[in-house]
Amino acid sequence: MNSTAAVLTPVAPFGELRIAETSPLEFSSAVGTDVPELLAIERESFEYPWSRAEFEYCLAARSCRGIVVKREGETLGYLFYEILNYGFELISCAVRKSERRLGIGTALVRRLMEELDERRCEISCVARERNVPAQLFLRSLGFRVSAIVAGFYRDADEDAYRMRYYSDEWELTTDRSRDRLWALR
C-alpha cells in the first residue's frame, strides 16, 4: 500500500469525517518500526491489549496486513486485517485517545473498503458484547450483525457480535454465484 495523504472536513455523527487539520493524514503499510507506537495506542484502547508478539506475528504473516495513519510523523491509529478468499477479516483497529471522534477510524475502515472487488466482496469482524461504541461505529459504516458467538472472548467469558459489511458487488451477484463464493471459504 502506497503512502498517500488526505485532508478531511468537519461533520458530527459516527462514520463521518471530522478532521479539519491543515496537516494531511498519511496512510502507509504497517512495518516493524511502527510496533512501539502501535503498542501504546493498543494499551490505551483495550482492556485486553495485543502484545508485541501478536503485532509481530501479524506483520510477518502472509495473509495479514496493517494500515497505519500518521500526521507529521506521529502515529494516530491503525487497522489490521486478514486476507481471506471471499474478503477481509478486520482483526484490530484503534485510534489514539486524543484523536478519537475525528474521523480517523472511519478513514481507516473506508481505506479497507476500497480494496473490495468482485472476488473479495465482504469485510467481517467481531465486536465484544460490551463494546457498544465499536458496534455503533461499525453500523454507521454499513456493517450488520450476522451472528452472536457465545463465549467468543475467553479472557472475559464474553459473547461477540459477528458483523459483516458487503460491497455492492456482493448484493448484485446471483444466488448461484454467492453459493460459489461461499464455497471458497
pLDDT at 95: 97
| Joined grid coordinates for residue 136 | 455503533
Q: How confident is the model at residue 12 (pLDDT cuts 50, 70, 90)?
A: very low
What does the pLDDT average to over 103-111?
A: 95
The CATH H-level superfamily of 4-183 is Gcn5-related N-acetyltransferase (GNAT) (3.40.630.30)
Cβ neighbours of residue 108 closer than 8 Å, sequence gap 6 or more: 27, 67, 69, 77, 78, 79, 93, 95
What does the pLDDT average to over 104-111?
A: 96
Q: How confident is the model at residue 13 (pLDDT cuts 50, 70, 90)?
A: low
Instruction: Write the burial class of residue 94 (CB in 10 Å: 0-12 exposed, 13-18 middle, 19+ buried).
Output: buried
Q: Are 25 and 69 in contact (CB under 8 A)?
A: yes
* SS3 category, 184: coil
pLDDT at 151: 85
Strand partners, 65: 81
Ranges of each domain in the chain: 4-183
71-86 confidence digits (pLDDT tens):
999 999 999 999 999 9
pTM to 2 decimal places? 0.79
What does the pLDDT average to over 51-64?
A: 96
Nearest to 21 by CA among 99, 106, 112, 111: 99
Give the whole-angstrom CA distance, residue 123 versus residue 90: 7
pLDDT at 167: 85
- The CA dihedral of 13, 159, 125, 77, to the nearest 10 degrees, is 60
pLDDT at 42: 96
149-170 confidence digits (pLDDT tens):
988 987 788 899 999 999 875 4
- The CA dihedral of 141, 25, 56, 153, to the nearest 10 degrees, is -30
pLDDT at 111: 95
| Joined grid coordinates for residue 162 | 459477528
Q: Which stretches does DSSP call E strand in 104-179? A: 122-128, 144-153, 158-166
Length of the chain: 185
Average pLDDT along the chain: 85
Strands 74-83, 87-95: pairing kind:
antiparallel
Instruction: For helices 132-140 and 104-113, give the axis angle rounded to 10 degrees.
Output: 50
